[in-house]
Structure 1
C-alpha cells in the first residue's frame, strides 16, 4: 500500500494491484497484475479491503448484464477501502479516510481509482466488509420500498428469494418500516435466515400452493420480486387490489409473465426498478437513501448478513456460490 501523508496535495502513485479481469465474454475471468496510475481530476485512489459480489457480476462475465462495460474490465460493483491518494483539485476527502464505493466496476481488486462522487465515508464502528455489503443490497431494497413502492406501516409485503443478497435486506428493511413480511425461500435453512431477519410468515418456494398460502394470510399489498417465474405468477395472483409489484431481478432465469388485463381490473402497478441508474439521472433520492442506511448501520439497526468471506484468489468460487444460489446474504472477497 502507498504510504499516506498529511498533505492533500496530489502526488504520483506507482504501485501494482491485483485485479479480476474480463477480456472476452467467451473466456473465463482471470486474476492478473496491473499498474495503478495516478488518480485523475475528480478521482481518488483506494486500497480495497473488501469487495462485495453481486449476481450482476455473474452476468457481466458473459456480457448479459444491462450495464456491462466493454472488455477488458475489472469485475466488482461495490467495495470498501482506504483512500491512498487524491487526484488534482479533490476536496472533501482525505488520505487515510475510509470510504465505501459503488463503482460499477473495479471492486474485485486490491486497489483502484474511483470518482469522488461515488465515495461515501464509512462511519466509525462499521467494518469494511459490512460497508461493502451494504450499498447495493440494502440500497436497492430501501429505495425500492420507500421511494418507488411507498410501502406503509401495516401493509403486507411479500419477498421472493428472501434469503438472497437483496431479498434478505428487503425482509429486514420492510420490517423496520413497519410492514408484515411474508418471506419466500427454498428450504428450511434459508427460511430460518429470513425469519431471523424479521419475517413474520415463511413459505417454501417449492410449495405447490404459494398463491393460496399468501391469500390465506391476507394477500400482498407490495411484492418485492427478485426471482421472476415461476414465483411471480403466484405472487401476482395473490396481490390485493391497488397493490404494487416491484420487478427487482430475475434470479430464477425466467422473465415475469405480466398480464395487463388482470393489472387493469385489480388496479395493480408493476414497477421496474434498477438502483444503479439513479446515479445517472436522479442521484438525490439514492444519496438520501444511502445516508439513512449508513445511519441505521452505525446505530446497529441493520447488519449485513455475510455468508462467505473469501480471499480475492477464490473469486471464481465466490461467483459460483451466486450462480448455484448457495449463498445466503452477501459474498465478500478480501484482497
Structure 2
C-alpha cells in the first residue's frame, strides 16, 4: 500500500510517499480502508518531534480518517466489513489503510461524506470536551470563542449555539468573522481592529 512517511523529524516538506506493507489488525482493532484523512495542527507537531507522544520512526502521520472497514479483529466490537466509519488514529491515517482500536472508531451518520467525517472527530471532540466537560456551558450563558474561524473554533461556535448559548466570535479579519457568522455566531469581534 502507499503511505506518506515521516522518516526524519522536521517540516512537512521532508515527508515522502512510499510503498509499504499493509497493517494487520490486532484482536481489538479494525482495518480501515482510508477514503479521506483530516489534517490538524498536532500532525505538524508530531512530524517535528514537538508533540506529547512520538511514534517510532518511520511512521505515517495523520490523526484521523474516514473510510470503510476492510477487516475486523476477533474482539473488535460490533463493526463488520463494509461499515462506513470515522476513526481517531493518533497517527497512521496518511496511508491507504490503517489499523485502529475499535474504541476509537465511530459509524459515519447517513448523509455525511468521507471528507467531512475525516475532519470531524478531532475538532468537534475537542470543542465538545472543552465546552461540556471542562466549561460546563449551559443554555442562556455567553460563550466567547477566540480564533472562531479555525476548525476547533468553528466547532465551538456551532456546539455553543446547539447548547443554547449566546456566542461571541472573535477573529482577526472580516473574512474570518463572516465564516463564524455563517456558523451561527451572534456577535462578532475583529481583534485586528478593536481591543478585546
- Give your verdict on TM over 0.5: yes
Partner of 1:94: helix, strand, or coil?
Answer: coil
Instruction: Work out whether 1:125 is the aligned partner of 2:111.
Output: yes
Among candidates 122, 144, 165, match of residue 158 of structure 1: 144
Do the aligned partners of 2:10 and 2:49 also contact (CA within 8 Å) in 1? no
Partner of 2:38: helix, strand, or coil?
Answer: strand
Q: Please name the residue that 2:79 is paired with.
A: 93
Among candidates 42, 47, 55, match of residue 61 of structure 1: 47
Do the aligned partners of 1:38 and 1:87 also contact (CA within 8 Å) in 2? no
Structure 1: distance between partners of 2:122 and 2:63: 8
Structure 1: distance between partners of 2:157 and 2:75: 42
- Post-superposition shift, 1:89? 4.4
Among candidates 62, 65, 70, match of residue 56 of structure 2: 70
- Post-superposition shift, 1:85? 1.4
Structure 2: distance between partners of 1:120 and 1:132: 11
Q: Please name the residue that 1:194 is paired with.
A: 180
Residue ranges of structure 1 left out of the alignment (5+ in a row): 1-16, 211-335
Structure 2: distance between partners of 1:129 and 1:170: 20
Among candidates 22, 29, 34, match of residue 6 of structure 2: 22
**TM-score, structure 1 length as denominator?**
0.55
Q: Please name the residue that 1:43 is paired with.
A: 29
Instruction: Work out whether 1:103 is the aligned partner of 2:89.
Output: yes
Q: Please name the residue that 1:270 is paired with.
A: none
Say how many residue pairs are matched. Answer: 194
Partner of 1:166: helix, strand, or coil?
Answer: helix
Structure 2: distance between partners of 1:205 and 1:68: 35
Partner of 1:129: helix, strand, or coil?
Answer: helix
Which protein has the bigger helix share? Answer: 1
- Structure 1: 4+ residue segments shifted above 6 A: none
Structure 1: distance between partners of 2:81 and 2:176: 41
**TM-score, structure 2 length as denominator?**
0.93
- Post-superposition shift, 1:146? 0.9
Aligned CA distance change for structure 1 residues 58 and 26 (closer, same or farther; 3 Å): closer
- Post-superposition shift, 1:74? 0.9
Q: Over aligned residues, Cα RMSD in angstroms?
A: 1.5
Residue ranges of structure 2 left out of the alignment (5+ in a row): none
Structure 2: distance between partners of 1:59 and 1:91: 32
Q: Please name the residue that 1:14 is paired with.
A: none
Q: 1:155-191 CA distances to partner (integer Å, 9 max, x unpaired)?
A: 1111111000100110111111111111111211111
Structure 1: distance between partners of 2:195 and 2:82: 54
Among candidates 185, 189, 195, match of residue 203 of structure 1: 189
Structure 2: distance between partners of 1:193 and 1:123: 24
Q: 1:33-65 CA distances to partner (integer Å, 9 max, x unpaired)?
A: 111043221122111001011011111121112
